[in-house]
Amino acid sequence: MRYTGPKFKLCRREQVNLFWTDKYDVKNRRSLPGQHGSSMKRNSEYGKLLRNKQVLKRSYMLSEKQFVKLVNETSARYSKNHNISHDEALYMFLEARMDSILFRSGIAKTMMQARQMVNHGNFLLNGKKHNIPSTFLKPWDKITLKEKLKASPLFAGATVSKTLKVPSWIKVDRNKYEVEVLALPKLWELGNNSDILKVIEFYARA
Domains and their CATH numbers in the chain = 7-84+192-205 (1.10.1050.10), 97-183 (3.10.290.10)
Indicate the SS3 state at residue 172.
strand
Indicate the SS3 state at residue 171.
strand
pLDDT recorded at residue 31: 54
pLDDT recorded at residue 100: 94
Taking the chain (206 residues) in runs of 10, the rounded mean pLDDT of each run is: 57 59 56 49 78 87 93 96 94 95 89 92 96 96 94 69 78 90 85 80 86
pLDDT recorded at residue 15: 60
Pick from 76, 136, 130: which is nearest to 100 by CA?
Answer: 136
CB atoms within 10 A of CB 65: 10
Do 87 and 99 contact (CB within 8 A), yes or no? no
